[in-house]
């Protein structure tokens, strides 16, 4: 089937008119992070079956697919069509065509959110303090609290000494309890800049009486100043919020949401929207993952508010879609929605949900298509027996797990491969009589079995039941390291603000890039951001 083309000008018109469109970059994350349009969403070719249905829930959404000449866009578009997407096209000229049409090129990931954060600081002059000044306040015993606005797992990796984990959407709800004296200074930090800025400005917008400032440049700024970070901290805000402080937070959050133009929805609206054939509606529960797992509304996905603002391109790749947010406290959904509205989203907060409506527990069910061809399976113990007793080299295990997970722990002897480069990977692996595909959860491998059979010219191909998780749960041996990489580790872009071992030049370069985002937004002209 011949695939239609969409021009860069047509994509731009969709964005300017706020008509729904999903502009998909189907390369791996690292090449995506090196160059892409502002509102492109990364959906790697190898994960389409796992992620397409939840990320692009309406099958007749206009979907435009591109690569940078790697030959992935055509097969990815065909795969989306096979999954039932009816309005799939290729970006004319791919990434190079976007460039040649005068389209602005951005680097890094989660760029819409990061660029918006820089615009907020530029227009609102969000207060901030440099790392040495914050360190001096802490060293001198000043009346100050440091609140880390990142996810808890990021906080545990490295944090400002003495800080407390309060992910972004929790700040307005919990700040008064953590700093009940209005004279207490509140410092908000993240790893770089965006969540520090948004978190600090959230407290300012909500009228917190305390003096508030962002830690300028986050943990990167702290490190570049020669200061030491703490590792493995476990300080979290108390779960409960005193009634009076909760009421204050709820009132101020609603006022901010109203000022931002957030709309209100009821349960009847949700029912009506479910039957719309021409509109995408994302439904997000912005509470913590633990609260979501304990009980949530049917059909809502977990998207903690701070991360939803930070990663809109991941959670909602259909630009122009409707977003509906819910919480059970009247604070977190309003504050999260206030930012999404400023970022140009059609965002609604669900009112009227009673505790008895939060009936589903655990993780959201993952809707997956069925593999197109029959798949042969093998149990973990049977694979262990084969590796132990069959002639050496007769069984090759190919691991499609994320490269970081593979390097950390994998089945002994397994080769790492990218599904998007499976044929090239097979050419690097010694010929075997039998090939066993595995991955982290066992969900991805079945979709790649037919491709592996083709690449190995009819050799026996099996899929490990339950993947690596089932292997390790059975107490079978593990191995670590990079000794058998049949594909390059380009599935994960190494963020300059992650971890504690990044080169200083990379950290400084990242900050310099963020400072330039406002100018890039101006040149791009499609963002539709509005800062209140």
Quick: pLDDT tens for 419-441. Answer: 999 999 999 999 999 999 999 99
The predicted model gives 12-31 an average pLDDT of: 97
Number of helices followed by number of strands (H, E) in the chain = 24, 20
Q: How much is the pLDDT for 65?
A: 98
337 and 430 co-located in one domain: no
Q: How much is the pLDDT for 503?
A: 81
Last residue of a domain, one of 298, 325, 357: 357
How far apart CA 106 and CA 34 sit, in angstroms, is 8
Q: HSE (CB half, 13 Å, CA atoms) of 252?
A: 20
How far apart CA 439 and CA 432 sit, in angstroms, is 19
Q: Give me the helices (H) in 396-493, please.
A: 403-408, 422-428, 445-455, 467-473
Q: What percent of the chain has pLDDT over 90?
A: 92
136 and 229 co-located in one domain: yes
Domain-embedded: residue 484: no
Please say if the pLDDT value at position 368 is more than 70: yes
Range name among 38-52, 322-336, 490-504 with the lowest pLDDT average: 490-504
58 and 159 co-located in one domain: no
52 and 91 co-located in one domain: yes
138 and 227 co-located in one domain: yes
Task: Write out pLDDT tens, residues 306-327.
Answer: 999 999 999 999 999 999 999 9
CA nearest neighbour of 73 among 444, 452, 423, 420? 420
**Reported confidence tier of residue 506, pLDDT bands at 50, 70, 90:** confident
Mean of the per-residue pLDDT values of the chain? 95
Which residues are paired to 228 by β-bridges? none
Domain-embedded: residue 245: no
Please say if the pLDDT value at position 445 is more than 80: yes
347 and 390 co-located in one domain: no
Domain with 32, as residue range(s), is: 5-111
Which residues are paired to 283 by β-bridges? 324
Domain-embedded: residue 263: yes
The predicted model gives 345-367 an average pLDDT of: 94
Contact 285, 299 (CB under 8 A): no
Domain-embedded: residue 56: yes
Q: Cβ atoms within 10 A of the Cβ of 275, count?
A: 6
Last residue of a domain, one of 422, 446, 473: 473
Burial class of residue 391, CB neighbours in 10 A (0-12, 13-18, 19+):
exposed
187 and 212 co-located in one domain: yes
Domain-embedded: residue 388: yes
220 and 267 co-located in one domain: no
402 and 351 co-located in one domain: no
Please say if the pLDDT value at position 392 is more than 70: yes
Enter the pTM of the model: 0.95
* H helix or E strand, kind and range, residue 121: helix 111-124
How far apart CA 449 and CA 79 sit, in angstroms, is 15
Task: Write out pLDDT tens, residues 205-245.
Answer: 999 999 999 999 999 999 999 999 999 999 999 888 999 99
Q: How much is the pLDDT for 510?
A: 84
Task: Write out pLDDT tens, residues 93-109.
Answer: 999 999 999 999 999 99
The predicted model gives 246-267 an average pLDDT of: 97
Domain-embedded: residue 116: no
How far apart CA 354 and CA 360 sit, in angstroms, is 13
Q: How much is the pLDDT for 500?
A: 63
CATH number for 214:
3.40.250.10
Q: How much is the pLDDT for 370?
A: 87
160 and 69 co-located in one domain: no
The predicted model gives 462-469 an average pLDDT of: 98
Q: Cβ atoms within 10 A of the Cβ of 302, count?
A: 20
CA triple 329-333-336, angle to 5 deg: 140
Q: How much is the pLDDT for 457?
A: 87
Q: How much is the pLDDT for 24?
A: 98
Alpha-carbon torsion (47, 451, 448, 471), positive or negative: negative
Q: What percent of the chain has pLDDT over 70?
A: 99
Hey, which bits of 331-413 come out as E strands? 346-350, 377-378, 395-399
Task: Write out pLDDT tens, residues 161-207.
Answer: 999 999 999 999 999 999 999 999 999 999 999 999 999 999 999 99
Q: How much is the pLDDT for 230?
A: 95
How far apart CA 299 and CA 317 sit, in angstroms, is 18
Last residue of a domain, one of 237, 264, 285: 237
Contact 25, 66 (CB under 8 A): yes
Task: Write out pLDDT tens, residues 105-121.
Answer: 999 999 999 999 999 99
Domain-embedded: residue 118: no
98 and 132 co-located in one domain: no
Q: How much is the pLDDT for 332?
A: 97
**Reported confidence tier of residue 367, pLDDT bands at 50, 70, 90:** confident
Q: Give me the helices (H) in 146-288, please.
A: 152-157, 171-178, 194-205, 218-224, 243-260, 267-274
9 and 97 co-located in one domain: yes
Q: What is the largest CA-CA distance in the chain?
A: 73
Domain-embedded: residue 249: no
Looking at the 3D structure of the chain, how many domains does it have?
4
How far apart CA 531 and CA 120 sit, in angstroms, is 6
Contact 295, 360 (CB under 8 A): yes
Q: Per the structure block, which two tokens stand in for 514? A: 């963020």
């Amino acid at each position: 089937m011949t695939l239609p083309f969409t021009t860069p000008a047509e994509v731009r018109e969709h964005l300017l008119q706020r008509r729904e469109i999903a502009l998909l970059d189907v390369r791996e994350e690292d090449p995506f992070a090196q160059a892409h349009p502002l509102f492109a969403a990364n959906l790697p070719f190898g994960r389409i079956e796992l992620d397409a249905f939840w990320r692009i829930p309406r099958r007749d959404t206009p979907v435009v697919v591109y690569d940078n000449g790697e030959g992935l866009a055509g097969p990815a578009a065909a795969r989306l069509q096979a999954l039932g997407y009816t309005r799939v096209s290729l970006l004319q000229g791919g990434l190079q065509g976007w460039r040649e049409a005068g389209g602005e090129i951005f680097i890094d990931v989660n760029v819409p959110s990061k660029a918006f954060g820089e615009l907020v600081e530029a227009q609102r002059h969000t207060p901030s303090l440099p790392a040495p000044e914050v360190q001096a306040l802490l060293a001198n015993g000043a009346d100050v609290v440091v609140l880390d606005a990142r996810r808890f797992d990021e906080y545990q990796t490295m944090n400002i000494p003495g800080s407390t984990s309060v992910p972004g959407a929790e700040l307005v709800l919990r700040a008064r309890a953590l700093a009940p004296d209005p004279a207490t200074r509140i410092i908000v930090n993240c790893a770089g800049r965006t969540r520090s800025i948004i978190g600090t400005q959230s407290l300012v917008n909500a009228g917190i009486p305390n003096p508030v400032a962002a830690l300028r440049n986050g943990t990167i700024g702290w490190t570049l100043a020669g200061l030491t970070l703490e590792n493995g901290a476990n300080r979290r805000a108390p779960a409960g919020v005193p009634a009076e402080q909760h009421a204050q937070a709820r009132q101020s959050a609603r006022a901010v949401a109203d000022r931002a133009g957030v709309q209100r929805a009821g349960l009847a609206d949700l029912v009506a929207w479910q039957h719309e054939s021409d509109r995408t509606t994302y439904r997000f529960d912005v509470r913590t993952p633990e609260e979501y797992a304990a009980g949530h509304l049917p059909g809502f996905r977990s998207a903690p508010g701070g991360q939803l603002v930070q990663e809109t391109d991941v959670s909602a790749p259909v630009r122009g879609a409707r977003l509906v947010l819910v919480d059970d406290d009247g604070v977190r959904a309003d504050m999260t929605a206030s930012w999404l509205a400023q970022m140009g989203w059609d965002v609604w907060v669900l009112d009227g949900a009673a505790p008895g409506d939060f009936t589903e527990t655990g993780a959201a069910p993952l809707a997956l298509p069925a593999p197109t061809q029959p798949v042969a399976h093998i149990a973990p113990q049977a694979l262990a027996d084969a590796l132990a007793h069959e002639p050496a080299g007769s069984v090759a295990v190919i691991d499609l797990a994320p490269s970081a997970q593979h390097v950390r722990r994998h089945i002994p002897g397994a080769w790492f491969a990218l599904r998007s480069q499976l044929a090239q990977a097979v050419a690097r692996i010694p010929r075997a009589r039998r090939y066993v595909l595995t991955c982290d959860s066992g969900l991805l491998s079945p979709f790649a079995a037919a491709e592996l059979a083709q690449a190995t010219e009819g050799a026996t191909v099996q899929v490990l039941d339950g993947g690596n998780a089932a292997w390790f749960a059975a107490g079978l041996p593990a191995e670590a390291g990079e000794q058998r990489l049949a594909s390059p580790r380009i599935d994960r872009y190494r963020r300059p603000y992650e971890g504690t071992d990044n080169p200083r030049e990379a950290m400084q370069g990242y900050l310099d890039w963020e400072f330039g985002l406002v100018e890039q937004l101006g040149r791009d002209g499609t963002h539709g951001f509005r800062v209140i």
